[in-house]
Amino acid sequence: MEEAVLLARLQFAITTVYHFFFVPLTLGLSILVAILQTQWYRTGNPQYRALTKFWGRLFLVNFGIGLVTGIVQEFQFGMNWSAFSAFVGDIFGAPLAIEALLAFFLESTFLGIWIFGEGKISPKLHLTSIWLVAIGSNISAIWILIANSFMQNPVGYVLNNGRAEMNDFFAVITNPHIFLQFPHVFFGGLTAAGFFMLGISAWHLLRRQDSANASIFLKSFRMGAVVGLIGALGVSGTGHPQGQQLAQIQPMKLAAMEGMYETSDPAGLSLFTVINEKTQEESFSIKIPSLVSMLVYNSPTGVVRGMRDIQTEYQAKYGPANYIPSVFLCYWSFRAMVGVGLALIGLGGLAVLLSVVLKRPIPRKLLIILPWAIALPYIGNATGWILTEVGRAPWVVQGLMRLDEGVSPGVPASSVLISLIVFTLVYATLILTTIKLFRHHSKAGITPADLSH
């Protein structure tokens, strides 16, 4: 059973992380394309039309691949996690149905109108269609996160015949967790889109400084810098209250991401800790005194519970089991996420200062670095979700269902392994295809047709 659980978790992790590579860019880039088209509509400037067309093509590639991987992800619930699906089906059914029937149909319908409608419908209606795509994409994210929030903080349910059944729809859709989770994801989308635009624009400026398109890509460079910085600051700002919420609803996750086995008051923030998970001891640690207590309680003092105390409480409450997640993954995914965030704030701030505030020529070294920085939001988003999901282990639904209780009982580990290998190979092919398409359309740049009406 342990092998089947591990393989099922690994397969879902690969599927989810790969799908989520595309989600933040869809959320953010749809808004940026809509803003560019708004500028084209307001000013009639052909440069804004060219930018709308160029970034719109990249948006369509991303949207298409994201759609395909999202459909595959949903099959995981039935194949490997049927017991989980039966347990939460009454809760998940409503938000996922609303997401498909309202949000996804909205964005997909108007995306078709936007793709094929130019010249066939009025410019104002054509502009409205891309804004509805952007709104629909972000509404879709809300409903998906409502479902995920139940796994993090179950509300609005009763247990009946071994199932969680909804008894308060309003409580489910107003789960306190969603009010922190969605802004964090929204700003993560702006960050991904901003640095995607910034990095590709920097690549074109680096190679085409004397071309007629240089002034066009300077516009998107500035836009990407501003949006990327706003997104990175927003992610940081919304991440802090999420940490405070963890102390209340998932204290084990908070302790694991700090490598804290012992309860502390005050609790220091670990800069670097060597942890022995077998003996549950710290071999070496460098900490900033009181900082975790300050972050959690806005005070230099305050009790932050350690994993040992929480483990004892959970064993008394839920029965004998190991309730400590992978400390290694939680600890380092949190630091990778924070490190990426600080790097993005620094790069975004420098790009805004030079190109928007001072309006100076962008240094060649910065133009070389920024295309590589496109990868940073992907790393930050992926490690953030790894922390979110791994840190909840061994729960698949916090406090209600453990991972070993959620897997499909009739699916042997060998079947999961075969599908895991097949999925990984298929996704590797999709990754190469996606990179090739992005590379092709990015290198093509602005075409004469993009500038003409």
Taking only the tens place, the pLDDT of each residue in 41-78 is 999 899 999 999 999 999 999 888 887 777 777 777 87
The pLDDT-based confidence of 238 (bands split at 50, 70, 90) is very high
Question: How deeply is 327 buried, as exposed, middle or buried, from its count of CB atoms within 10 A (0-12, 13-18, 19+)?
Answer: buried
What pLDDT was estimated at residue 209?
58
Q: Is the pLDDT of residue 6 over 80?
A: yes
- Which of 370, 369, 383 minimizes the C-alpha distance to 340? 383
- Residue 164: half-sphere exposure toward Cβ, Cα within 13 Å: 26
Record the tokens describing residue 43, joined without a space: 């000013």
Percent of the chain whose predicted confidence (pLDDT) is above 90:
59
pLDDT tens for each residue of 216-233: 899 999 999 999 999 999
What pLDDT was estimated at residue 295?
87
The DSSP bridge pattern shows strands 163-166 and 269-276 to be unpaired
**Spatial distance between the Cα atoms of 237 and 232, rounded to a whole number of angstroms:** 9
In the predicted model, what is the mean pLDDT of residues 19-40? Answer: 93
The pLDDT-based confidence of 239 (bands split at 50, 70, 90) is confident
**Spatial distance between the Cα atoms of 384 and 133, rounded to a whole number of angstroms:** 26
- For 259, phi and psi rounded to 5 degrees? 65, 30
Q: Is the pLDDT of residue 208 over 80?
A: no
In a domain, 190, yes or no: yes
Higher per-residue pLDDT: 128 or 3: 128
In the predicted model, what is the mean pLDDT of residues 235-254? Answer: 91
Interaxial angle between packed helices 178-207 and 46-79, expressed in degrees from 0 to 180 and rounded to the nearest 10: 130
Q: What is the pTM of this model?
A: 0.92
pLDDT tens for each residue of 330-339: 999 999 999 9
Taking all residues of the chain, what is their mean pLDDT, rounded to a whole number?
90
DSSP class of 264 = B
What pLDDT was estimated at residue 415?
85
Q: Is the pLDDT of residue 278 over 90?
A: no
In a domain, 280, yes or no: no
Collapsing DSSP to helix, strand or coil, 185 comes out as: helix
What pLDDT was estimated at residue 210?
52
The pLDDT-based confidence of 211 (bands split at 50, 70, 90) is low
pLDDT tens for each residue of 374-416: 999 999 999 999 999 999 999 999 999 999 899 988 888 888 8
* Cβ atoms < 10 Å from Cβ of 346: 12
- Pair 334, 387: CB distance under 8 Å: yes
The pLDDT-based confidence of 419 (bands split at 50, 70, 90) is confident
Higher per-residue pLDDT: 451 or 405: 405
Q: Is the pLDDT of residue 131 over 70?
A: yes
Q: Is the pLDDT of residue 254 over 90?
A: yes
- Which of 331, 324, 264, 251 minimizes the C-alpha distance to 294? 264
Structural domain harbouring 119? 2-263+305-444
- Bridge partner list, 402: 395
Total count of domains within the chain: 1
* Cβ atoms < 10 Å from Cβ of 62: 24
What pLDDT was estimated at residue 49?
92
Higher per-residue pLDDT: 438 or 33: 33
Q: Is the pLDDT of residue 175 over 80?
A: yes
User: H-type helices in 80-122, by residue range?
Assistant: 82-98, 105-117
Q: Is the pLDDT of residue 213 over 90?
A: no
Q: Is the pLDDT of residue 109 over 70?
A: yes
Tokens 């719109």 map to which residue?
A: 56
The pLDDT-based confidence of 453 (bands split at 50, 70, 90) is low
**Spatial distance between the Cα atoms of 176 and 328, rounded to a whole number of angstroms:** 28
What pLDDT was estimated at residue 1?
63
In the predicted model, what is the mean pLDDT of residues 345-356? Answer: 96
Task: Tell me the torsion sign for CA atoms 443, 448, 449, 451.
Answer: positive
Terminal CA-to-CA distance of the chain, rounded, Å? 62
Q: How far is residue 28 from each of residues 25, 109, 134, 201, 377, measured CA to CA in Å?
A: 5, 19, 8, 16, 12
Rg (alpha carbons) of the chain, rounded to whole number: 23
In a domain, 390, yes or no: yes
Q: Is the pLDDT of residue 166 over 90?
A: yes
Interaxial angle between packed helices 178-207 and 23-43, expressed in degrees from 0 to 180 and rounded to the nearest 10: 60
What pLDDT was estimated at residue 79?
82
**Spatial distance between the Cα atoms of 190 and 186, rounded to a whole number of angstroms:** 7
In the predicted model, what is the mean pLDDT of residues 96-122? Answer: 89
- Beta-carbon contacts of 269 under 8 Å, excluding residues fewer than 6 positions away, are 258, 287, 288, 291, 292, 295
In the predicted model, what is the mean pLDDT of residues 274-284? Answer: 82
What pLDDT was estimated at residue 33?
97
Q: Is the pLDDT of residue 420 over 70?
A: yes
- Pair 306, 263: CB distance under 8 Å: yes
* Cβ atoms < 10 Å from Cβ of 141: 21
pLDDT tens for each residue of 285-328: 888 888 888 888 888 888 999 999 999 999 999 999 999 999 99
- For 412, phi and psi rounded to 5 degrees? -70, 160
In the predicted model, what is the mean pLDDT of residues 88-99? Answer: 90
